[in-house]
A and B are shown apart, each in its own frame.
Chain A
Amino acid sequence: MQRHLISAADLSRDDAVLILDTAEEMARVADRPIKKLPTLRGRTVVNLFFEDSTRTRISFEAAEKRLSADVINFTAKGSSVSKGESLKDTAQTLEAMGVDAVVIRHGASGAPYRLANSGWIDAAVINAGDGTHQHPTQALLDAFTMRRRLTGRDAGLGQDLSGKRVTIVGDVLHSRVARSNVDLLHTLGAEVTLVAPPTLLPVGVGSWPCEVSYDLDAVLPKSDAVMMLRVQRERMNAAFFPTEREYSRRYGLDGDRMARMPEHAVVMHPGPMVRGMEITAEVADSPRCTVVEQVANGVSIRMAVLYLLLGGNEPAVTHARPPVSHHHPSDERSAHTPFAEEK
């Protein structure tokens, strides 16, 4: 593993599989009466959120607390940032307080990269979503969800997503989720198809490692997972599409369309959903829709990422599991017994 997690594109296949496998171990913690590990005891993590995102912040916070980290939440609203303090000063101020990791959500693409690479701070940086660039933990939790549903919880261990066909539908242009997913799913061997009106695809998408289609109905029967992206109604006013109704008719997922998917195929959504826009209530509430699982899996994935970035060699989260290729051959984690109970 690297020291930071900035982009899904930075992860090798082995890195990604290791995170997914570690997340499976973390998920078992959630099944216990006491959902806590001592791994990050004494370590401090700051959730530095320059953009509103209650879900992502709470998910990271839950992950940090389950690993016993000390958690500081910093949100831009009402803070010194609104008084003109720079990202650099804010980060340095927090680091001066002894922070080991910064989980950052920022409206500007590249802000986490700058934080990690400008020599401003020494702490590990985890990207919790930057502008329209990347949201790597979202891509990881999506891959985790797919692997569980399509391969199986235990059968999936050590496996990637080779041969799985994933369709991502909606506002790709403005979506960091789409970018992260294309990168990670490609690394994991899946075949990705993006479906959107041409206005909502970036110029330059042709160089991405995926297919592009404007025809949802043609792609659905060949999909193992269909990921619907949120489409903000305001996009209509910038002429990305004529009306909400037309968008829903052409690119929305309703019951009829879902019926044309293979029986095993799942419907995914990173949330928050705009019901009636990209997804109907019938689909959103169906058992094929993984939205709620994705939220639960998000905590496990974020625990795994925090552990792998910050846990170092501490064997607190260990488990006898099928051998997987590790980035650090000397890593002793796999030799240890299942998760030690809280001492």
Chain B
Amino acid sequence: MSKILIRGAKVLGGAPQDVLIDGEVVAEVGEGLSAEGAEVVEAAGKVLLPGLVDLHTHLREPGREDSETVLTGTRAAASGGYTAVFAMANTFPVADTAGVVEQVWRLGKEHGYSDVQPIGAVTVGLEGRKLAELGAMHESAAGVTVFSDDGKCVDDAVIMRRALEYVKAFGGVVAQHAQEPRLTEGAQMNEGVVSAELGLGGWPAVAEESVIARDVLLAEHVGSRVHICHLSTAGSVEIVRWAKSRGIDVTAEVTPHHLLLTDELVRTYNPVYKVNPPLRTERDVRALREALADGTIDIVATDHAPHPHEDKDCEWAAAAMGMVGLETALSVVQETMVDTGLLDWAAVADRMSFAPARIGRAAGHGRPVSAGEPANLTLVDTEYRGQVDPAGFASRSRNTPYEGRELPGRVTHTWLRGKATLVDGKLT
């Protein structure tokens, strides 16, 4: 493999430097590096980040290839600056056996746009009753370390306790979709002022917060680590902050859409805004941003959830929940966190690469941009501003809430172990 010289990039937002890629690794970082024998990428003014890592992606394959496949999903990932994605287990069939997780893992390897690390189901069929073969999935070629019934909550306290305990044997982590099922029967949107007016079934904040409170206490009791998916309320932030202050081994994620959008948008009854957990209030958005800034929330994860057009081109109640997010995540984070002064680019690298790789034990990802490290890199034109045009998405689905919205930042290059997957904004 040839050499690539990334010239004059602001590494993690710092002073301009040259970064030389040789083969699969970063060979050198410094000023005025020789371009001899190297392809040069002029990066003056751009920010170079470690390849982004998404701990929460729905790739839909196997089973719903009409909305996304491993190929289209990883192309979307590369397009958004990601070099590794964790594929959620709620496929058809469910990723609850070594066979299914190995299939997804192999497809990712074959396509080569980003590494795909499958997440295993906690319980058989996501039904919440019987533990799936967690150990077998861990020992498989896919090497699963993150387990989640995402889409559904592991609501049985005993099953949750056992899962937390069991995965300790191999350093696993349970990622909880916190949603008390009885409190959210028929839930269509955040419960509050807007749901009262619109007559849509309410999804109360307490249904998330009560499960998080229980699970951090369970994790403390059995000495396990627990990860909270898509935390969405101000109350959840307070619980996680309290748990961390007690030394409980809890990590948490927030989605880009919960950092930007509120339930006021539901007044349009446009199902592109329908998502689970639902869009909350302005107060929640503020609390989530502050928590991501102060580290209470560890990471940004997309919850990229592709759906075919017909599942959104209908009345609200009939529509599917979820939004695509891989190709807009970094722009939304720049808009909500960087341009507001809450995070600098080094902190963005932490929240979107270092920390998610650490939580998911993604070897070779989330590494510093320094000599000898795997060349998983993302180059961002942070000066760019433009309207989101779903027609240009690499994802098979278009269910974005940002269509027509002006957002900052554009990923121009992505390298996966030294191989360019995105060049000048175009997939290779």
- Chain A residues proximal to chain B, CB less than 8 Å: 86-88, 106-111, 113-114, 117-118, 130-134, 176, 179, 202-208
- Tell whether, in the assembled complex, residue A205 and residue B196 are in contact, meaning their CB atoms are under 8 Å apart: yes
* Distance of A155 Cα from B196 Cα, bound (Å): 36
A and B contact pairs by CB, cutoff 8 A, 15 listed: A86-B314, A87-B315, A88-B314, A108-B317, A109-B198, A109-B317, A110-B200, A117-B268, A118-B313, A130-B199, A179-B197, A203-B191, A203-B196, A205-B196, A208-B196
Residue B202 interfacial (CB < 8 Å): yes
Q: B200: nearest residue on chain A (CB-CB)? A: A109
Residue B195 interfacial (CB < 8 Å): yes
Residue B108 interfacial (CB < 8 Å): no
- Tell whether, in the assembled complex, residue A131 and residue B192 are in contact, meaning their CB atoms are under 8 Å apart: no
Residue B318 interfacial (CB < 8 Å): yes
B36 partner residues in chain A, CB cutoff 8 A: none
- Tell whether, in the assembled complex, residue B202 and residue A202 are in contact, meaning their CB atoms are under 8 Å apart: yes
- Tell whether, in the assembled complex, residue A207 and residue B193 are in contact, meaning their CB atoms are under 8 Å apart: yes
- Tell whether, in the assembled complex, residue A114 and residue B315 are in contact, meaning their CB atoms are under 8 Å apart: yes
* Distance of A132 Cα from B195 Cα, bound (Å): 10
CB proximity of B188 to chain A, nearest CB, Å:
8
A203 partner residues in chain B, CB cutoff 8 A: 191-192, 195-196, 202, 204
B191 partner residues in chain A, CB cutoff 8 A: 203-204
Among A110, A117, A134, A203: residue with most chain B CB under 10 A: A110
Report the count of interface residues on B (CB-CB < 8 A): 23
Number of A-B contacts (CB under 8 A): 76
Among B197, B199, B313: residue with most chain A CB under 10 A: B199
Residue B415 interfacial (CB < 8 Å): no
CB proximity of B296 to chain A, nearest CB, Å:
26
Residue B269 interfacial (CB < 8 Å): yes
Residue B194 interfacial (CB < 8 Å): yes
Considering the complex, which residues of chain B in the window 409-428 have a beta carbon less than 8 Å from any beta carbon of chain A? none
- Tell whether, in the assembled complex, residue B315 and residue A106 are in contact, meaning their CB atoms are under 8 Å apart: yes
A131 partner residues in chain B, CB cutoff 8 A: 199-200, 317
By Cβ-Cβ distance, the 8 closest A-B pairs, closest first, are A204-B196, A110-B269, A133-B199, A132-B199, A108-B317, A202-B196, A204-B193, A109-B199
* Distance of A220 Cα from B10 Cα, bound (Å): 72
What per-residue 1/0 map shows which CB atoms of B186-226 lie under 8 Å from chain A? 00100111111111101010000000000000000000000
* Distance of A113 Cα from B268 Cα, bound (Å): 8
B196 partner residues in chain A, CB cutoff 8 A: 202-205, 207-208
- Tell whether, in the assembled complex, residue A110 and residue B313 are in contact, meaning their CB atoms are under 8 Å apart: no
B270 partner residues in chain A, CB cutoff 8 A: 114
- Tell whether, in the assembled complex, residue A204 and residue B194 are in contact, meaning their CB atoms are under 8 Å apart: yes
A208 partner residues in chain B, CB cutoff 8 A: 196-197
- Tell whether, in the assembled complex, residue A87 and residue B318 are in contact, meaning their CB atoms are under 8 Å apart: yes
Given contacts A110-B200, A113-B269, contact A204 B195 (CB under 8 A): yes
Among A109, A113, A202: residue with most chain B CB under 10 A: A109
* Distance of A114 Cα from B198 Cα, bound (Å): 13
A88 partner residues in chain B, CB cutoff 8 A: 313-314
* Distance of A86 Cα from B271 Cα, bound (Å): 14
B318 partner residues in chain A, CB cutoff 8 A: 86-87, 108
Among B268, B313, B314, B318: residue with most chain A CB under 10 A: B314
Among A114, A134, A208: residue with most chain B CB under 10 A: A114
Residue B105 interfacial (CB < 8 Å): no
Residue B156 interfacial (CB < 8 Å): no
- Tell whether, in the assembled complex, residue A109 and residue B316 are in contact, meaning their CB atoms are under 8 Å apart: yes
Residue B310 interfacial (CB < 8 Å): yes
What per-residue 1/0 map shows which CB atoms of B258-270 lie under 8 Å from chain A? 0000000000111
A86 partner residues in chain B, CB cutoff 8 A: 310, 313-314, 318
* Distance of A107 Cα from B318 Cα, bound (Å): 10
Q: A204: nearest residue on chain B (CB-CB)? A: B196
Q: B191: nearest residue on chain A (CB-CB)? A: A203
Among A108, A117, A118, A205: residue with most chain B CB under 10 A: A108
B317 partner residues in chain A, CB cutoff 8 A: 107-111, 131
Considering the complex, which residues of chain B in the window 296-341 have a beta carbon less than 8 Å from any beta carbon of chain A? 310, 313-318
- Tell whether, in the assembled complex, residue B316 and residue A108 are in contact, meaning their CB atoms are under 8 Å apart: yes
Beyond A87-B315, A134-B199, 8 additional pairs, beta carbon < 8 A: A108-B315, A108-B316, A108-B317, A108-B318, A109-B200, A110-B315, A131-B317, A204-B191
Given contacts A114-B269, A203-B204, contact A179 B315 (CB under 8 A): no
* Distance of A204 Cα from B194 Cα, bound (Å): 7
CB proximity of B126 to chain A, nearest CB, Å:
25
* Distance of A204 Cα from B318 Cα, bound (Å): 24
